[in-house]
Structure 1
């Protein structure tokens, strides 16, 4: 039994798999270990064990303010993206639109084009010449970045929903709008919630666009963390990074457990 187990572990395919796993989660484990260091500088291996840097994260005022900003952008931007994305996904799934593939490509462009280009474009052509506020530009950018995920995830739900259910409701006297809200929406709520979670996590952790559109008094948490590291190099950044990573993983795992998240993405 032991020899069989050993032979499977040293199998070349299994060795490659373990190397990939170590490569993927190794940096994360290093950051988690460094966040519990008792030393005063960010270093690995950690110098002893302490929770003081985890506690310190909750006492830094700039982190508190930027966390609220990131939460507002992530929640608000994702809700607006869903308000736009659900009807768009429904139209593409139920109607034979001209140039439908072109429309799909345009809708997906924010995730195809590098985020740094999106941020620079908004800064150069809206904020600077038009005088748009940084807050509004940042909100529009996050909404645009989340919109493709909303459309794609909801489209996957609609493609799995039989269209004759909706048609049956219309034949029985229900209006087209009523059929949408009474038949379609309840059956795709899992996809909508999955799209919200995916959009929220994407927006909250967004860096390139936020880097261009952050300004005095308006900074997201990832950008605030970058600025903090330019001045202070203590393990509090590692502690905050670990907390955010655990938060993101917890949200995704709960979504997979109760919504079947992997079916939509």
Structure 2
């Protein structure tokens, strides 16, 4: 029995190292004094963080990613909340087919979605790049918002809503005054998950960006094609730390893990 326990502990440690190891390497190389990104790092410096924050294209593409993420996430929520509500509250024959249809952007590989959207938005409709990028991100975020909000609605008793209706409130009023306030934690969880997914997206953004319009992950890829210094490690460390702070803060305040 003890031997089995040791094997389980060893396997757990190996899995942990496999999953966390790359992030630790990125974090350590961000402070290295080496001129190229290699492990183990040498020395200690903050110069790579200063350089990462001083590059104008990183700052510009950060705001493109941020604004696109906010706009696409908000749109995906506006569309996803009523869809999730209808799917949970009502029964109809085509429900399994509709569920599959709404989940398809999360099932189909991102490269295929990006290529399909490129053909439609750019080649067929001649749409501006920034609009195509926004619509593409909205499409891939939609199933995430539907799933998270649906999970929140399943935890919310329909009896509370029915009580409001029986007291004279319309379905429309009860939805906004009773349902939404009681699933706000799920809405926040959906917003955070969708925004992080949008901000870090590469496959779809790779096809939908173009001259003068790029997201931060795409700009980081372009930079690495020309340079291999720890600048990208420093920038990645900043993004990881910000993401962890946002997720952990939301978890402490709202307990979002039960919805995702």
Which runs of 5 or more structure 1 residues have no equivalent in the other structure?
1-6
Q: Deviations over 1:28-79 (max 9, x none)?
A: 1011110001121111111211010011111000000000000011111000
Alignment match, 1:43 = 38
Q: Is 2:237 aligned against 1:242?
A: yes
Q: Deviations over 1:97-129 (max 9, x none)?
A: 330111111101001000101110011123112
Task: Return the alpha-carbon distance in structure 1 between the equivalents of residues 140 and 242 of structure 2.
Answer: 21
Secondary structure in 2 aligned to 1:181? helix
Which runs of 5 or more structure 2 residues have no equivalent in the other structure?
none
Alignment match, 2:24 = 29
Task: Return the alpha-carbon distance in structure 2 between the equivalents of residues 130 and 181 of structure 1.
Answer: 37
Q: 1:70 aligns with which of 50, 65, 69?
A: 65
Alignment match, 1:192 = 187
How many pairs does the alignment contain? 259
Task: Return the alpha-carbon distance in structure 2 between the equivalents of residues 130 and 178 of structure 1.
Answer: 39
Task: Return the alpha-carbon distance in structure 2 between the equivalents of residues 83 and 248 of structure 1.
Answer: 23
Q: Where do residues 38-187 of structure 1 align in structure 2 (5 Å cutoff)?
A: 38-187=33-182
Contact 1:126 1:132 in 2 (8 A): yes
Task: Return the alpha-carbon distance in structure 1 between the equivalents of residues 185 and 4 of structure 2.
Answer: 39
Describe the shift of the 1:10–1:171 C-alpha distance in structure 2 as closer, same or farther (beyond 3 A). closer
Question: CA offset at residue 218 of structure 1?
Answer: 0.6
Question: CA offset at residue 166 of structure 1?
Answer: 0.8
Question: CA offset at residue 154 of structure 1?
Answer: 0.5
* TM-score (norm. length: structure 1): 0.95
Q: Where do residues 4-15 of structure 1 align in structure 2 (5 Å cutoff)?
A: 11-15=6-10
Q: 1:16 aligns with which of 11, 18, 27?
A: 11
